Chains A and B, each alone.
Chain A
Amino acid sequence: MDKLNLRSGDIIVWLLLLSAPFWLPLMGGYIELGSEVVVFALAAMALNFLLGYTGVLSFGHAAYFGLGAYGTAMTMKYLVESTPLAILIGTAVGAVAAAIIGPLIVRLRGVYFAMCTIAFGQVFYFIAFQWRDVTGGDDGLSAWHRMPIDFGFAQLDILNSNKAFYYLTLAVFALAVGFMAFLLRSPFGRTLLAIRENERRARFLGIPVDRHIWLSWVISCTMVSLAGALYALLNDFVDPRALRWDQSGTFVIMTVLGGMRSFWGPLVGAAIFIVLRDYISSHTENWQSFVGLIFVLVVLFFPRGVLGIIRRKAAS
């Protein structure tokens, strides 16, 4: 099992992330690409809190990603032009929706749970799609933009500096990921592992399984809403595709691609997915075929994901 203490692997990950704005351009990348990787890595790691560490597959995480994004965008556009407030409100919207929907689905298992998460997700998609006056419908919500953050003594100009925005994203990512790692090392986190490993045993050890799955679900969805909030800020725009079920599928693909039994697996998966998409889509419109092919190959030959292979190599 994962030891979640700070080890060499963790240090490498943080060093790479912290230095990304300096080496990305040298590799032919650009800073927004780095921000996008971090945002999607957070979403995939949030999904993995539920999938990899609780053993519950959600195919509807885009709903909460999208709610976070719309909550943020609508706060900026209609309420108050404050980036921190918009992030908080956006995340809260996703969290509250997850908390309410949770009790309706946590008794379900396996494919039934997954199907119901898709169904609820599509409800939000259609609302965003149809309610043109408020959400902008299919055209999305534009004509707003992120605002510089004023700390009183200094100002972080995330509006004009991509580097500043990258570091804001990375700071939020670090807080969220640190929070999840912290929880996974706690007694509560161990009850989630217990449920993943053997639900019957967990139940007969006195763990109220449905309630713990609900908690894990709410935490996971809250973290994915936070990713959604950053996603809206990254693009200064949001449209209903952020809520659609294929977006949920993308999170699952990233997680499985990178390795859902390792803490950093989804980050690796997100990086591979985003970079491949960026690279292949500049050559052909059919980039999804190639990403799909790579996904199939990984699942067939390396069921523990890319990080699973690296780890096995390191162990042998």
Chain B
Amino acid sequence: MSLLQIENVSKHFGSLIAVNDISMTVEPGELRAIIGPNGAGKTTFFNLITGFFSPTSGRILFDGHDISGLLPARRVWLGMARTFQVTEVFPELSVRENLRIPVEVASGLRLRPWLSAPDDVKIRDRVAELLDMGGLTDKAGRQVGELSHGDQRATEIMMALALNPRLLLLDEPTAGMGDQETYDITQLIRRLHKEAKLTIVLIEHDMRVVFHLADRIMVLDQGKFLAEGTPPEIAANQAVQTAYLGQAA
């Protein structure tokens, strides 16, 4: 069964149709990229999946359940985690605390007024593991707000990962980054996909990143579906080249 199945969703903001009748199916273990020129409706589409907005029409199925009307927190409980285009972290807390909070939420401890010693150890271990995976161990005690953009982004991705998601949604993970940072984040995402076998949907502007990572690519243009296929198919697609790649090349 598909992990994520989106059936004919649309989103209207007054007379503006931001997302127009789009369907998409993501299989378990897949890495799907969504691309398109500015204003293509990529982020709005993302926000419909994660529950930031609810769709004007259409259905969203996650693991077979209709989640179209669920609040964001409930979608997280079902196994969906996301990052944002503009990094959203807890700036005045340390990296360790930033990771500890989602680990505790994922362990079902969010309402606990105390922690037993074994729970505490389990949580510390998991946080240490995430710090290590994100290359953040030596910065664990620093306030996230003081870190470089790349490290903040890595923290945000590890926060999403701390939730043990079955589907990870990344909104422009390399936005505003230099070459080295872009490379590091790309490698991180690649590891999550190849080694942890995580299902990932990402929006990305950097075509090198997209063609390097994606199993399949969906192209949107002005809120509408334009094309879908493997990276070579998309690279060869005439309509895509005209609408998008043509102006970039």
Q: Which residues of B contact A209 (CB under 8 A)?
A: 73
Say which residue of A1, A182, A189, A200 sits within 8 Å of B92 (CB atoms): A1
Please give the distance in Å from B44's CB to the nearest CB on chain A.
16
Of A191, A205, A208, which is in contact with the most chain B CB atoms at under 10 Å from its CB?
A205
Complex Cα spacing A206 to B72, Å: 7
Residues of B79-126 whose CB lies within 8 A of A: 81-82, 84, 88-94, 97, 100-102, 104-106, 109-115
Chain A 181-237 residues near chain B, CB threshold 8 A: 182-183, 186-191, 193-194, 197-198, 200-209, 212, 215
List residues of chain A with CB within 8 A of the CB of B112: 186-188
Question: What is the distance, in angstroms, from A131's C-beta to the closest C-beta of chain B?
Answer: 37
Residue of B nearest to A215 (CB): B111
* Docked-complex contact A198 and B72, CB < 8 angstroms: no
CA distance A209 to B73 in the complex (A): 9
| B76–A206 CB distance below 8 A | yes
- Knowing A197-B91, A203-B73, A206-B73 are in contact, say whether A190-B163 is a contact too (CB < 8 A): no
In the bound complex, residues from chain B placing their C-beta under 8 Å from that of A193 are 90, 93, 97, 101
CB of B183 closer than 8 Å to a CB of A: no
A1, A182, A204: the one within 8 Å of B72 (CB): A204
Chain B residues 142-163 with CB under 8 Å of chain A are 159, 163
- Cβ B91 vs Cβ A205 within 8 A: no
Q: A205-B159, A207-B110 are in contact. Are A187 and B104 (CB under 8 A)?
A: yes
Interface contact tally, CB-CB below 8 A: 88
Q: Please, how many angstroms separate the alpha-carbon atoms of A267 and B235 in the complex?
A: 65
Contacts of B81 in A (CB 8 A): 204-205
Cα distance, A203 to B102, chains bound together (Å):
11
Q: Write out the residue numbers on chain B whose beta carbons fall within 8 Å of the beta carbon of A1.
A: 92-94, 97
Q: Is the CB of B90 within 8 A of A197?
A: yes
Q: Is the CB of A203 within 8 A of B72?
A: yes
Which residues does chain A contribute within 8 Å of B105, judged by CB atoms? 191, 205-207
A272 to chain B, nearest CB (A): 25
Contacts of A189 in B (CB 8 A): 113
Counting chain A residues whose Cβ lies within 8 A of the other chain, the interface size class is 20 to 34
A1-B93, A203-B73 as given contacts; A198 in contact with B115, CB under 8 Å? no
Residues of A within 8 A of B92 (CB): 1, 197
Q: Across the interface, which residues of B come within 8 angstroms of A202, CB to CB? A: 101
Using known A-B contacts A188-B110, A204-B76, A205-B163, determine if residue A194 contacts B82 with beta carbons closer than 8 Å: no
Q: List the B side residues contacting A204 at CB < 8 Å.
A: 50, 72-73, 76, 81-82, 84, 88
Which residues on A sit within 8 Å (CB–CB) of B115? Answer: 186-187
Complex Cα spacing A209 to B77, Å: 14
**B88 interface neighbour in A183, A201, A207, Cβ under 8 Å:** A201
**In angstroms, how far is the closest chain B Cβ from the Cβ of A170?**
24
* Complex interface: chain B residues within 8 A of A194 (CB): 90, 93, 101
List the B side residues contacting A215 at CB < 8 Å: 111
The residue in chain A whose Cβ has the minimal distance to the Cβ of B169 is A204
| Alpha-carbon gap, A147 to B166, bound state (A) | 61
- Contacts A182-B113, A186-B115, A208-B73 given: A191-B101 contact, CB under 8 Å? yes
When distances are taken between beta carbons in the complex, the residues of chain B under 8 Å from A198 are: 88-91
Q: Do residues A183 and B76 form an inter-chain contact, with CB atoms below 8 A?
A: no
CA distance A182 to B89 in the complex (A): 25
CB neighbours (8 Å) of B111 from chain A are 187-188, 215
Q: Give bound CA distance, A250 to B115, whole Å.
A: 36
A215 to B82, CA, bound (A): 26
B36-72 contacts to A (CB < 8 Å): 50, 71-72
The closest CB in chain A to the CB of B156 belongs to A201
**B77 contact set on A, CB distance < 8 A:** 206
CB proximity of A175 to chain B, nearest CB, Å? 15
Q: Does the CB pair B72–A190 fall under 8 Å?
A: no
A190-B89 in contact (CB<8A): no
**Contact (Cβ within 8 A) A200 B163:** no
In the bound complex, what is the Cα–Cα distance between A202 and B76 (angstroms)? 11
A201 to B72, CA, bound (A): 11
Q: For A187, list chain B residues within 8 Å (CB).
A: 104, 109-112, 115
Tell whether A200 pairs with B101 under 8 Å between CB atoms, given A186-B115, A188-B112: no
Question: A205 — nearest CB in chain B belongs to which residue?
Answer: B102
Contacts of B90 in A (CB 8 A): 193-194, 197-198, 201
Would you list 9 pairs from A and B whose C-beta atoms are within 8 A, ordered by A residue? A187-B109, A190-B104, A197-B90, A205-B76, A205-B81, A205-B163, A206-B76, A206-B77, A206-B105
Other contacts beyond A197-B93, A204-B50: 12, CB < 8 A: A190-B100, A194-B93, A197-B92, A201-B88, A201-B90, A205-B163, A206-B77, A206-B163, A207-B73, A208-B71, A208-B73, A209-B73
List B residues at the A interface (Cβ < 8 Å).
50, 71-73, 76-77, 81-82, 84, 88-94, 97, 100-102, 104-106, 109-115, 159, 163
Q: Which 8 A-B pairs have the closest CB atoms?
A: A206-B76, A197-B90, A201-B88, A187-B104, A187-B109, A187-B112, A205-B102, A208-B73
